[in-house]
Structure 1
């Protein structure tokens, strides 16, 4: 009996990782009924990270925290033992913006700090922080405020939300934060290596995606530069150029510089949380995938991470759209890619009918990559 492992990321805007996996599994079972199929939902450290941890057996812990523009939102982290998996996107990410209204100067990362505070208060001593999908460019100032940092302007008043608040910061007091974070180990899952400031920094590269115009980008980059100077003076080390410092509008910087976090590729952390290696025994084929396969896929995204961890097992991918030629896929360890657009040219239907189309692709993959089953007609 053949054994297939499906380890896929979400199709953003369409299906969760679990839904993608279930649809592909259905197609494989239709074409090869005797095949053993397992589904392991994964993520690359952004949105979907907590869902992947829950699928791996973590427990959901509910929290009410501050959304990106100050509203209260219901969110959750995943817990197993003393480990908490926290996802920035689900509490203060772009998807949490009321009405989708961008707030480039005032969106805050405070909520993710509140979730971490709740996890610590519940007894967690290890925090895995998934970055990605951030709505803010505040250098992680909101995160640190929620953890106890006192950030004041020249008049001694606590600064406000977002990059606009960071532009006014004059003093940094980490006394309470250091007490609260004593003995807490933080690992940051990120899929970008941008520094905090400059031409590749958080404001310049990602600010426009969050609604910042050219003038606002310049203001935000100047604010982050001043913020980095103040933090460096306070902690005795300059971390603005650490790879990943620019992740999530600078939350990566705050985590590394102030929380002494270590960084790791998001997909590697998620595969570890899911105990991916334990699923490989006797596996004949791995199906991975995400919404779009492109050059970014080859630099820390989920499919490339799965292929790298496959231990020689053949890997194929499903996706909505594929822009990578066959030789680029093979260089990443992916034998072939199967795209929704290859069987349905209507992009809108690829979104609305994704589950049915993925089931068709699953059946096709089974027919192409698994041996025919004796006594089974199909």
Structure 2
């Protein structure tokens, strides 16, 4: 019997990781009918990462990046005293697609989720940094936890990254200390620093609606914040989610005196470990992964690269499917571009058919 593991990322805007795994599996099953198929939808710190962990799904009222009343969910594992929170749940781009807020959007809504999780007993917050609509260096989270960001005249700053160039001090007299003092695990799919050509504003600002003038303003503001909060702006990964790690780093260091309670980690390996893929993949004959677009960055910390690394030392055949394949995935890899159908379910089903057919051909040739 052929053992197959299907572990794709989401195909942003068209299919969740769960849907992608299901549709691919149906296509594979139509060709290899007696296959033993394990569906393991993946994530790398972006949208949908929290849902890959075990726990109770909790939904509450909060605000979106534009400050409008909304609802958002997170996952709480009471036994482990750990909450898994996608920053995209409350502060993500889809909720403000009608009015992007690169200068005024903030992460306050995510801070509401964090405070709620701590009130239920969470001692560790796993914050999944992907898909944010904000570039506020995490100051919205600080505000939600009771801190007040002020300018030199002592007035509270306006929400969002556009005002951060005026930051002079942060008042913590009303800080929610239990929530601020949790263990922080920040999952990211990027290694971007806070500022510069590869920084939060320059690279991700355009997709959040920032103009060239906005980007220049935000980049300077983020550098100023790092200076005020004494955070190294070149730290890899600290540019994730509009530089949210900056505020978290400062907050945790303030309370604990060092950086021991903040951990910035690549998301995909952690999710793979939670799904026990290190045990499943070595026993598989075929491993299928995929994402919206496969390019040079796909093999560096993303879902596809993580799966490829796990397959590398096994006898399994690796298959990759994507809407576009812009780079060579390597020798021996089955690479399938999605078809032109407008129905993503059909596209992924057909990709599963093509992958299964190609795998059988390879097996026959080798056998």
> Does TM, normalized by the shorter one, top 0.5?
yes
Indicate if the aligned counterparts of 1:45 and 1:190 stay in contact, CA closer than 8 A: yes
For the residues of structure 2 that align with 1:47 and 1:320, how far apart are their CA atoms?
A: 18
Indicate if the aligned counterparts of 2:164 and 2:222 stay in contact, CA closer than 8 A: yes
Q: Using the TM superposition, give the Cα deviation of residue 370 of structure 1 relative to its aligned residue in structure 2, in angstroms.
A: 4.2
Aligned runs of 1:75-90 on 2, under 5 Å?
A: 75-80=72-77, 81=79, 82-90=81-89
What are the Cα deviations for residues 268-293 of structure 1, in whole angstroms up to 9, with x where unaligned?
12212323224336322111111111
Q: Using the TM superposition, give the Cα deviation of residue 188 of structure 1 relative to its aligned residue in structure 2, in angstroms.
A: 0.8
Number of residue pairs aligned between Structure 1 and Structure 2: 351
Unaligned stretches of 5+ in structure 2? 253-258
Comparing 361-370 with 105-114, which one deviates more in the overlay? 361-370
Normalising by structure 2, what TM-score? 0.89
| 2:68 paired residue number | 71
Aligned runs of 1:258-269 on 2, under 5 Å?
A: 258-259=251-252, 260=259, 261-269=262-270
For the residues of structure 2 that align with 1:171 and 1:118, how far apart are their CA atoms?
A: 26
220, 231, 235: which one aligns with 1:242: 235
What are the Cα deviations for residues 96-146 of structure 1, in whole angstroms up to 9, with x where unaligned?
10x522112101111111111111111111111111212111111111211
With over 3 angstroms needed to count, the CA separation of the structure-2 counterparts of 1:191 and 1:204, relative to structure 1, is same
What are the Cα deviations for residues 254-311 of structure 1, in whole angstroms up to 9, with x where unaligned?
2233334211111112212323224336322111111111112122211111111234
Q: Using the TM superposition, give the Cα deviation of residue 59 of structure 1 relative to its aligned residue in structure 2, in angstroms.
A: 2.3
RMSD: 2.2
| 2:184 paired residue number | 186
For the residues of structure 1 that align with 2:243 and 2:37, how far apart are their CA atoms?
A: 40
318, 321, 330: which one aligns with 1:318: 321
Indicate if the aligned counterparts of 2:65 and 2:106 stay in contact, CA closer than 8 A: yes
Instruction: Confirm whether residue 257 of structure 1 aligns to residue 247 of structure 2.
Output: no
Indicate if the aligned counterparts of 2:115 and 2:179 stay in contact, CA closer than 8 A: no
Structure 1 moving runs of 4+ over 6 Å: none
Secondary structure of the structure 2 residue equivalent to 1:309: helix
What are the Cα deviations for residues 324-375 of structure 1, in whole angstroms up to 9, with x where unaligned?
12xxx127xx7121111xxx3x3xx3xx3221232222122223224899xx
163, 166, 169: which one aligns with 2:167: 169
Instruction: Confirm whether residue 217 of structure 1 aligns to residue 228 of structure 2.
Output: no
Comparing 283-292 with 152-161, which one deviates more in the overlay? 152-161
Secondary structure of the structure 1 residue equivalent to 2:125: strand
